[in-house]
Amino acid sequence: MQAVRIHRFGGPEVMAIEEIDRPIPSANEVLIKVFAASVNPVDGKMREGKYPVVTEKDLPYVLGRDVSGQIAAAGDDVSSFLIGDEVFAFLSPEHGGYEEFVLARADEVAIMPKSLDAVGAAAVPLAGITAWQGLFDHGGLLQGQRVLIHGGAGGVGHLAIQFAKAKGAWVATTVSAADKEFVSDLGADQMIDYKSEKFENLIEPVDLVFDLIGGETQERSFNVVKPGGALISTLQEPDKARAAERDIRVGRYTAQPNGAQLQQIADLIDESKVKVVIASTFELREAAKAQAALKENHIRGKVVLKVVD
Ligand SMILES: NC(=O)c1ccc[n+]([C@@H]2O[C@H](COP(=O)([O-])OP(=O)(O)OC[C@H]3O[C@@H](n4cnc5c(N)ncnc54)[C@H](OP(=O)(O)O)[C@@H]3O)[C@@H](O)[C@H]2O)c1
């Protein structure tokens, strides 16, 4: 089968499409015939050797963290899926998604939303679970509360806006001016242009800031969280001393694969409460071009690799 692998860390030139052996599932794993694989910012960090989970000893390494596809084989202990089931999954780091067949633990996998095609489904797992765990597991967001989402037009952000609205929360979000209408259509209640406006001057205090940007955006966010509220980041640990002074709960987390949560997300999509936006698609052999597009272009939604036609 074909896979996009790296043998050393570096720029896009270290990615090569290669023939490798098709893996065999162990007792609690399934083998997925991949239809499409999404491209996430972490893929570029792994390729550059800047993501601590993947080190020299893991090379050669197949990039990619989430896929849609079809169950091609299952281990002896797997009873939750049948051969031929159409599924999607956020993979553990030991298995890469930029390949024609991938192994996944059965508890990382969920049945694909019926209302999405393969490209749409591949776009969801990592971004969707990151949004879900940030808002609800770490952020504790409840119905009727107020949340500010930084980076609302990106892969994680555009899903986070819709999950928060489906929960019954009030949502503000920071985006580029050109994306205000886009996130308004997704349900955002207040849109702030991060380049020309200062969110801390424009919004009333919130229960939760969901930070997908970090840096000074995170630092300024302390000013808009209510006492007793939370500031949760996917990027860097917020200042704990400052948090204690203001009675704010803070945290930085790494999203974890979770098939049960993914199934809840699939249900919201099939109930038309969440739509998935695709920014662009590429062929598997264009993985380097796709990563460059995600890093350098203005992105609205998700970048996806089509592994089969
Ligand atoms: N910890 C974890 O488990 C985890 C999981 C997933 C993602 N992440 C991280 O979370 C971040 C977001 O991921 P993603 O997949 O959503 O990325 P993405 O698809 O690349 O989206 C980033 C978005 O942020 C916008 N943006 C850039 N600077 C901004 C600013 N100062 N204020 C507001 N918006 C801004 C961009 O808009 P413009 O194009 O208009 O600039 C773009 O829409 C990434 O850094 C990623 O590495 C971490």
- Distance (angstroms) between ligand 1 centre and the Cα of 119 equals 20
Q: Is residue 150 lining ligand 1, measured as CB closer than 6 Å?
A: yes
CB 98 within 8 A of CB 284: yes
CA 178 from chain center: how many Å? Answer: 22
Within this chain, do residues 53 and 133 fall inside the same structural domain, yes or no?
A: no
Within this chain, do residues 99 and 149 fall inside the same structural domain, yes or no?
A: no
CATH number of the structural domain spanning residue 73: 3.90.180.10
Distance in angstroms (rounded) separating the CA atoms of residues 194 and 176: 6
Within this chain, do residues 98 and 133 fall inside the same structural domain, yes or no?
A: no
Within this chain, do residues 212 and 281 fall inside the same structural domain, yes or no?
A: no
Within this chain, do residues 117 and 142 fall inside the same structural domain, yes or no?
A: no
The predicted pLDDT at position 298 comes to 86
In a domain, 271, yes or no: no
Distance in angstroms (rounded) separating the CA atoms of residues 87 and 85: 6
> Which of 138, 213, 217, 278 for a ligand 1 pocket mutation test, highest count of atoms within 8 Å of Cβ?
213
Within this chain, do residues 295 and 208 fall inside the same structural domain, yes or no?
A: no
**Global model pTM greater than 0.85:** yes
In a domain, 259, yes or no: no
In a domain, 267, yes or no: no
- Distance (angstroms) between ligand 1 centre and the Cα of 242 equals 24
Q: What is the pLDDT of residues 133-161, one digit of tens each?
A: 999 999 999 999 999 999 999 999 999 99
Within this chain, do residues 183 and 136 fall inside the same structural domain, yes or no?
A: yes
Within this chain, do residues 131 and 120 fall inside the same structural domain, yes or no?
A: no
Within this chain, do residues 226 and 298 fall inside the same structural domain, yes or no?
A: no
Within this chain, do residues 236 and 248 fall inside the same structural domain, yes or no?
A: yes
Assess whether pLDDT exceeds 90 at residue 224.
Answer: yes
Count of C-beta atoms within a 10 Å radius of residue 219: 12
In a domain, 265, yes or no: no
- Distance (angstroms) between ligand 1 centre and the Cα of 150 equals 8
- Distance (angstroms) between ligand 1 centre and the Cα of 280 equals 16
The predicted pLDDT at position 299 comes to 85
User: Does residue 287 sit in helix, strand or coil?
Assistant: helix
The predicted pLDDT at position 297 comes to 87
In a domain, 60, yes or no: yes
Three-class SS of 224-280: HEEEEEEEEECCCCCCHHHHHHHCCEEEECCCCCCHHHHHHHHHHHHCCCCCCCEEE
Within this chain, do residues 187 and 171 fall inside the same structural domain, yes or no?
A: yes
User: Does residue 191 sit in helix, strand or coil?
Assistant: strand
Q: Is residue 298 lining ligand 1, measured as CB closer than 6 Å?
A: yes
- Which tokens belong to 184? 């308004």
In a domain, 257, yes or no: no
Q: Which residue has the higher pLDDT, 11 or 309?
A: 11
CATH number of the structural domain spanning residue 132: 3.40.50.720
Number of domains in the chain: 2
Angle at alpha carbon of residue 132, lines to 126 and 134, rounded to 5°: 95
Domain encompassing residue 283 = 2-124+276-306
Assess whether pLDDT exceeds 90 at residue 309.
Answer: no
Within this chain, do residues 242 and 173 fall inside the same structural domain, yes or no?
A: yes
Q: What is the pLDDT of residues 159-200, one digit of tens each?
A: 999 999 999 999 999 999 999 999 999 999 999 999 999 999
In degrees to the nearest 10, what's the CA dihedral of 148, 253, 58, 32?
-70
Q: What is the pLDDT of residues 10-46, one digit of tens each?
A: 999 999 999 999 999 999 999 999 999 999 999 999 9
In degrees to the nearest 10, what's the CA dihedral of 261, 257, 270, 28?
-90
In a domain, 91, yes or no: yes
CB 223 within 8 A of CB 200: yes
The predicted pLDDT at position 44 comes to 97
> Tell me, what DSSP letter sits at residue 112?
P
Q: Is residue 281 lining ligand 1, measured as CB closer than 6 Å?
A: no
